[in-house]
Structure 1
Amino acid sequence: MKVPLLSLSKVSDDSKRSSLYSIDIHLGLPKPFEPCSPPFYDLLMTWVQDCDSHHPRCRPTRRSGIQIPTRLIEVGDSENKRSKVYLREAVSEICRPESDLRYIALSHPWGSGKDHDHFCTTKENLAHRLSAGIAIEQFPSTFRHAIEVTRMLGVPYLWIDSLCIVQGPGGDFDTEAKRMETVFSSAYCVIAASRASGTSSGFLWERPEPEVVKLDGYLANDSIYVSGVIDDFQHDVIEGALNKRGWVLQERALAPRTIYFTENQTYWECGQGVRCETLRSLTNSQASFLGDPNFPRVAMRSTRGEKIRFYESLYKQYSNLDFTKIHDRPIAIAGLEQRLVNAFKTEGGYGVFNGAFLGRSLLWARDTQRSNGLKMIEFPRDQRFRVPTWSWTAYEGPITYLNISFDHVRWTYDTAEGEIKSPWTTRDSDSTSGKGDIRLAFS
């Protein structure tokens, strides 16, 4: 995607429209606001309120039977900035109807283990955090900034994975990981720390200022500025460091709307597209799919072949992403995958779908252009589910799919050895696991 080098912006000095408004010049801001300044937060609130008022399909849905997160962080408000925040057991302590509960979810990179593990909620410190709270000054910069934004948006609760899920031995990660679909899809908004490299990095620091030149004497009631272009959602977000993290693909797809704090500026993404801090509106082909608040509704309007290409592209992208803990690979896409299973009206898991999609979804292979081989993941012995070896999620490394023509393939579901069996012909007591042999023939 080519981005222009310079941008023309006009800033209106009064409300009257002159005849010169036919000139095709971007109406907006030549440079972003100062982070944490009143105009900066006013813009964030404007995005949220405009979406609330005019984008009904972007609002987080409260479907029947939906569960709120097990724990949330009570942050207080911008008027009463307490020195502590409190970890709350959502159901037992908040006691608020689910339809009235608003919380922000944070999407962020963990960074190195030593950098992050110190701040995790564990079985040992859970009771203290529930009763005594946590001093904000003890938090790393990324968490402090998330608390600040949540307060300024007027939202009472914040969800951060490492604080709201009990980590380590005796924790509830296995249980909570299955609920990521509802955590992100039910959030009032997601804030993405796109410029952070870890929990200590933060994301509300000063940004590089573009050079700006004011052109005088061209419009009677407006000012015209020439500035360097900083509106590049593709580079700042899609190709950014945060989007290389395995968990983030699912978080972005499931979120109804997201605010991205990047190195150059802040972006808003919802079902109506992308907005920039310079007041521009952008379109992006990937944003139309992953930014869909009702993912994967847009893809479901396609033919069967296009749906196959869609999930193949999604899984290939996911297989190239990084993990702090590689054994999270089959888990970090489970919520997104369940959305696809429901949309396809079939069964599935671990990167494979049953029914009409079974044959094609098994034609995965290592991506020889990106890797010399796939390495089987050594999963923890105490893991409550087993990842089948026929699934690419059991291996570390990028994958691709065999490029077989749709028009010249006949899938045989009765072979000389008998009827093809899928992994969903029998299931064990754990709903995340499937048993069975897979035999497939095509000609």
Structure 2
Amino acid sequence: MRLVYRDAHVTIIAASARRVSEGFLQERPAAPITDHSTFLRDITLPFLCPPGKGHSGEHVVGELRVSPIWTYTDPPGQPSVQYNPNVEPVNDRGWCMQEYFMSPRSLVFASHTLQFHCQTAVQNIGSAYHDEERRARLPDVLFLQDEDLQLIADLGGDEWQLREAWHMLVRDYTRRSITVPGDKLVALGGIAEGMHRIFRTQYLAGLWRDTLLADLLWSKRVRSDIPRPREYRAPSWSWAA
């Protein structure tokens, strides 16, 4: 699946659909209209200017003018339009994580709008609000063609970014549900394959040999009740167990 998503021109993600019978092409609510003129005006900040050296007199009150380039408020009388992608049903499914992270471009039919995602930005139809800080993505190196990826691996570049990205993926993936327990590692295999081409170390059931001691320090979330799987899916020392 790694090459399917990586080489796709665009991936369509039905993020808002809870089941196959629900569909995702319904009309989205219009984004709330906000009067930018009320809060994007220049802001004037007063400050005291002491007399210059060798001069007597009182302090002078100066003014500092600030021009905001962006701000956010909830329109009066309306619920918050701040969007968290984790509320979408698709982001609770383990098998759907790869299509989100491994696609260089995607059309996301979210519950509140239609989004276009690429490696540099998110664009919302109708100017619906989207918090860019909530959007995680993989390092650009993983979207290179295999021959270029091999060159990066030879030079040893971007490995630290990939290590951090892998830990981010594991945190995201382990909160998702998997219907078939045996698919726990399989559903993450495409991303693991791409990272393996750079790490060049043995992949051990969700952990990496070169950083095995650090990878073994995983822990479950506080106050989370995780039942023991009925079927074997990974060694007990792996987070996938």
Q: TM-score, structure 2 length as denominator? A: 0.65
Q: Could you tell me how far apart the structure 1 residues matched to 2:140 and 2:81 are?
A: 21
The answer on 1:196 being equivalent to 2:10 is no
Mapped to 1, the partners of 2:10 and 2:169 lie a distance apart of: 23
1:195/1:282 CA distance change after superposition, 3 Å? closer
Q: Indicate conservation of the 8 Å contact 2:2/2:190, yes or no.
A: yes
* Counterpart in the other structure of 1:364: 218
Aligned residues: 192
Separation in structure 2 between the aligned mates of residue 344 and residue 310 of structure 1, nearest angstrom: 13
User: Given the alignment, which residue of 324, 330, 333 partners 2:188?
Assistant: 333
Listed one character per residue, the Cα deviations across residues 308-358 of structure 1 (whole Å, up to 9, x for unaligned) are 444223212211111222321111101111122222232214211012x12
Distance 1:349 1:256, change over 3 A: farther
Secondary structure of the residue that 1:372 maps to in structure 2?
coil
Question: Shift of residue 231 of structure 1?
Answer: 6.6
C-alpha distance in structure 1 between counterparts of 2:86 and 2:14, whole Å: 13
- Structure 2 residue aligned with 1:409: none
Measure, in 1, the Cα distance between the counterparts of 2:171 and 2:5: 22
Relative to total residues, which structure has the larger strand share, 1 or 2? 1
Map 1:364-403; keep pairs closer than 5 Å.
364-367=218-221, 369-379=222-232, 387-393=234-240, 395=241
Rounded Cα–Cα distance in structure 1 between residues aligned with 2:167 and 2:189 = 15
SS in structure 1 opposite 2:21?
Answer: coil
| Cα RMSD (Å) | 3.5
Query: What is the CA distance between 1:387 and its match in structure 2?
Result: 3.7
Q: CA deviation at 1:282?
A: 6.0
Is contact 2:10-2:103 (8 Å) kept?
yes
Gaps (5+ residues) in structure 1?
1-179, 216-226, 380-385, 396-443
CA distance 1:200–1:292, shift in 2 (3 Å): farther
Q: Which amino acid aligns with 1:364?
A: W
Give 1:257's aligned amino acid: R
1:205 aligns with 26
How many angstroms apart in 1 are the aligned matches of 2:118 and 2:99?
13
Offset at residue 203 of structure 1 (A)? 0.6
Residue 103 of structure 2: aligned partner: 255
How does 1:114-133 map onto structure 2 within 5 Å? none
1:189–1:258: 8 Å Cα contact kept in structure 2? Answer: yes
Distance 1:319 1:214 in 2: 41
Amino acid at match of 1:187: A
Aligned sequence identity (%): 25
CA distance 1:231–1:336, shift in 2 (3 Å): farther
Write the mapping of 1:4-403 to structure 2, written as runs, cut at 5 A. Answer: 180-210=1-31, 212=33, 232=82, 234-235=83-84, 237-279=85-127, 284-285=132-133, 287=135, 289-290=137-138, 292=140, 294=142, 304=160, 308-355=163-210, 357-367=211-221, 369-379=222-232, 387-393=234-240, 395=241
Per the normalisation by structure 1, the TM-score is 0.38
Are the equivalent residues in 2 in contact too, given 1:196–1:202 (CA < 8 A)? yes
Structure 2 unmatched runs, 5+: 37-74, 150-155
- Report 1 or 2 for greater relative contact order, CA contacts < 8 Å, sequence distance ≥ 6: 2
Deviation for aligned residue 1:302: 6.0
Give the Cα separation in 2 of the matches to 1:249 and 1:200.
21
Residues 208 and 324 of structure 1: CA distance in aligned 2, closer, same or farther (over 3 Å): same
Q: Distance in 1 between matches of 2:157 and 2:123?
A: 25
CA distance 1:230–1:268, shift in 2 (3 Å): farther
Whole-Å separation in 2 of the counterparts to 1:251 and 1:198: 17
Q: State the one-letter code of the partner of 1:274.
A: V
Counterparts of 1:364 and 1:374, CA distance in 2 = 17
Q: Quote the Cα distance in structure 2 between the aligned partners of 1:214 and 1:310.
A: 38
Q: CA deviation at 1:303?
A: 7.3
Q: CA deviation at 1:247?
A: 1.4
Distance 1:284 1:210, change over 3 A: closer
Give me the whole-angstrom Cα distance separating, in 1, the residues matched to 2:3 and 2:225: 37
